[in-house]
Amino acid sequence: MTLPPNSLSITIVRADRRTLPVQVADSIRAAIDRGELEPDTRLPSTRALSDELGLARAVAEQAYEQLVAEGWLDARRGSGTYVREVPHAVRSRRTVHRTRQSPPPAERISLRPGTPWTPPSASDAWKRAWRDVGGSPPPGDYPDPAGSLELRIRIADLLGRARGLHTTADSIVVTTGSIHGLDLVLGALSARTDIEHVVALENPGYRAAAALAVHRGWSVHDVPVDQEGLVVEELESIPHETPAVYVTPSHQYPTGGLMPIGRRRALADWARVTGSTIIEDDYDSEFRYGIAPLPTVTELVPDRAVYLGTVSKTLGAGIRLGWMVAPPSMVERITETRRAIGDFPSVPIQQAMASLLRDGEWDRSVRSARRIYRARDRVVAAALARFGELRGVGAGLHSVLILDHTVARAVASACAARGVDLPTLEHSTRSPTTDGGVVIGYGSVGDNEFVYAVKVLVEALETVLPS
């Protein structure tokens, strides 16, 4: 098996007096000596390693050649470069140390944002919801393309009390999640031939949104973000008409910025003046630790905005259920298309969701998840604030430690070498940005693993950052 390039714990520090090939060779040599790389492990190709490190290929080649010459590595013609058995490496002691420190690869810990923490066993309310569904006969007929009326009424009630967004069932369309909502909106706008199909997206931003726009045949215009989310003035400088902007004002994904009211109003005004549609993805606003969520942009300009909600960050990403609030003409166009192409939301899933809302389980599960994430948010703030600017704490399911790009890469690969995966901001960046960083997701793992992973991250930061 070939090691993935990001699992080698290689630390590159530009200010270091050692040359780059020497730094790479030193890191690999130390990993072999510590017993972290077993004999016969195949190293990544020099091309893969240099791509991962963002260095010239010659650097990796020189490092490997050096280690082959020293007897740490074996270059097998046509097969690759392998770790050699090194008799004097003190395996026994170090191996004990290693198993205590880092989990074996099968138990990797992922701090990637995206999925929420879910309880290990089904709650009574979850079982009850599905018993309710199972108690009704199978839905024989095609359902309402906007979604079940009962569910839409319950979502309208939820948005009013939890989000201050006052709407009615007629303005709601049930979707299979935020990305599906975005697809439905771009689909509806695509029918218009009087506009250019260009969508403005945050950069860094949600990769799936960009992938979807491209898949739909739309061009993407990158708009920078800062600590207050999308930089609205930059919309003015887009040289062509932009009929849609996709934005995450409650907790910019992934940099965590919270868009203040002044900017929200400016965004609403921009949409009013240009006639563009704001697509507001409110993907994790259920989670606030201290302050109440700010009002939605949709509420400021309901006739020019579409609001997207999802259960992916609360009940689970595998459920595939979400909702949108849209102006009447958009709802009409979307439901007509859905009926025409047979894109009907699944009835049993909607019934189960309505049941969870009806008996209060949604509120209960959000409350208990909020307690868990709040504690994790505090762990992160306490442990990482001394290393740099922390963005996005106090809200949502992830935060970001702003770092230089090279440092962020080195930290992520040092963590990966110890079994902890976390992405750098570059994973969400389409055009170059000044700020780099590492993204710390709060979901998907248990408390002990989370605390352990933050400890590994702190140790990586202490190693990589100059003291």
Ligand X SMILES: Cc1ncc(COP(=O)(O)O)c(C=O)c1O
Positions that interact with ligand X (CB under 6 A) = 114, 177-179, 206, 248, 253, 281, 283, 310, 312, 317, 322
* Amino acid letter for position 217: G
CB 189, CB 196: distance < 8 Å: no
Tokens of 145: 């393309």
CB of 254 to ligand X, least distance (A): 7
Cβ-based nearer residue to ligand X, 30 or 208: 208
**What three-state secondary structure class fits 424?**
strand
**Alpha-carbon gap, residue 189 to 413, rounded angstroms:** 42
Tokens of 85: 């058995």
CB of 283 to ligand X, least distance (A): 4
Cβ-based nearer residue to ligand X, 28 or 186: 186
CB of 302 to ligand X, least distance (A): 21
* Amino acid letter for position 39: P
Cβ-based nearer residue to ligand X, 248 or 429: 248
CB of 274 to ligand X, least distance (A): 23
Tokens of 87: 């008799």
Cβ-based nearer residue to ligand X, 60 or 445: 445
CB 187, CB 197: distance < 8 Å: no
Tokens of 240: 């062509």
Cβ-based nearer residue to ligand X, 114 or 436: 114
Cβ-based nearer residue to ligand X, 52 or 377: 377
Count, residues in the chain? 467
CB of 399 to ligand X, least distance (A): 14
Cβ-based nearer residue to ligand X, 109 or 182: 182
CB of 176 to ligand X, least distance (A): 7
CB of 182 to ligand X, least distance (A): 8
Cβ-based nearer residue to ligand X, 282 or 299: 282
Residue 288 carries which DSSP code?
Answer: B
β-sheet with 436-441: strand ranges across: 390-391, 398-403, 436-441
CB of 282 to ligand X, least distance (A): 9
Q: Kindly report the number of other CB atoms within 10 A of residue 153's CB atom.
A: 15
Tokens of 2: 């070939």
Contacts of 205 (CB under 8 A, 6+ apart): 222, 225, 246, 248, 253, 254, 428, 430
Residue 395 carries which DSSP code?
Answer: B
Residue whose Cβ sits closest to ligand X: 177
Distances (CA, A) of 451 to 223, 279, 378, 379, 410: 35, 35, 11, 8, 21
